Structure 1
């Protein structure tokens, strides 16, 4: 296999990894856009992309001059999932939510100061999933993020969130730490968190922690549906459904009852 290099030294490796991360987050990018984000010449960006393409880590997007993640990068990511029990524990629940309940379902983990999507399953409902595995999302505005933060102390959560005000995604986004703490306390009490049009307009999501045999939160499951015409009863049922799905996944991982 070709080595992923376009020069020499750790800086080149770091840039190549940055290219993969950018493509994982954005989906598709052109060479000039990659160069601009990395602060390098387009010719250098082209050499990086060519090297990654030769190793099948990136590939040309269909009918486009832009680039996207290749099958080899997906293969490496899949190896991470298959190396842990999390995949086996959560996959049935993700498909149960999507297929049986018509709820878009997601699996996420906490990395650095973001949520990383590990899986997303499209339902037959009215929301189209655009969150690819490996992409990042916000802690403060998502049900996944709140569910993951609920296992932390307020001090730890504050450190992960960073200084307020937090980025506003919609008119309902929680932007203060005090507002987020109230949501986290509710999640600790009820066993699930909600994002009521806080991350995307007209999307309601519920998320719940997934725990391992030690009782530690290692991931979170969430389900998302259109907010329009969603009754209080439907909201309650969705929250309980997501909570139960996360609890079943946790039991498969040996979590205490």
Structure 2
């Protein structure tokens, strides 16, 4: 069990899409070089990592792309793609869909790359308390106070909430106004609105996000963007229910 846990922890070092060498991974994980090398070799053999023989550095492997495609199809994210693209084209922002996994919101689908994001790889695992997607997933779910106590409030920027009490108040506000909001709480210069994608029974399994720079997501435009996103969330909910 310890070996499996260590291997998964090593794999976690590559979530940002960067290549890394043995020494860097060992330092990040607090492991011996020999142990790290064995774990990396096993991950390469399993296809979870690839090794560049010329540089001796490692990167995400093809097997993970296969698993990603399986998850993509199982969650039927392809049904939401036309709606995401239409919303992105209409607003000029990035539209995405996410699901809750433990203490994070995980993006399963997003509209095509937009110039507003530049070439930087956007994270797909977002802290629940500091992301509009995460707040939407929490606000429209039965979330106990005890769970809010476990969230990593050190993640995010100085603008994100820092206590369970603050988060609970923000979730209540989101539920009352109909959308969650991220005002530069993850990335300076970017804002996101988040809305629930509800099942016919009223459960919130997925959330819809609309992200853009502060120059686009100005306060005066938020009501209009929320209106468009609300229509999109309802359309995706209908597609998922069919």
TM over 0.5: yes
* 1:187-206 deviation per Cα after TM superposition (whole angstroms, max 9, x unaligned): 22232111111221111111
Distance in 2 (alpha carbons) for counterparts of 1:138 and 1:162 = 13
Superposed CA RMSD? 2.7
Which one of 73, 87, 90 corresponds to residue 82 of structure 1? 73
Within the alignment, does 1:31 sit opposite 2:22 as a pair? yes
Which one of 213, 220, 223 corresponds to residue 210 of structure 2? 223
Within the alignment, does 1:111 sit opposite 2:101 as a pair? yes
Which one of 223, 226, 234 corresponds to residue 221 of structure 2? 234
Counterpart of 1:4 in structure 2 is none
Distance in 2 (alpha carbons) for counterparts of 1:148 and 1:204 = 17
Distance in 1 (alpha carbons) for counterparts of 2:172 and 2:32 = 48
Counterpart of 2:59 in structure 1 is 68
Map 1:128-143 onto structure 2 (within 5 A).
128=118, 130-132=121-123, 135-143=124-132
Distance in 2 (alpha carbons) for counterparts of 1:162 and 1:25 = 27
How far the C-alpha of 1:145 sits from its partner, in A, is 0.9
Distance in 2 (alpha carbons) for counterparts of 1:254 and 1:200 = 33
CA gap 1:95/1:84 in 2 versus in 1, 3 angstroms: same
Counterpart of 2:34 in structure 1 is 43
How far the C-alpha of 1:238 sits from its partner, in A, is 1.7
Structure 2: where are the runs of 5+ without partners?
none
Superposition TM-score, scaled by structure 1 size: 0.81
Distance in 1 (alpha carbons) for counterparts of 2:206 and 2:151 = 25
Secondary structure of the 1:245 match is helix
CA gap 1:167/1:12 in 2 versus in 1, 3 angstroms: closer
Aligned length: 241
CA gap 1:159/1:114 in 2 versus in 1, 3 angstroms: farther
Which one of 223, 229, 234 corresponds to residue 247 of structure 1? 234
Which runs of at least 4 in structure 1 moved beyond 6 Å after TM superposition?
none
Of stretches 68-77 and 210-219 in structure 1, the one that deviates more from structure 2 is: 210-219
Which one of 137, 146, 163 corresponds to residue 148 of structure 1? 137
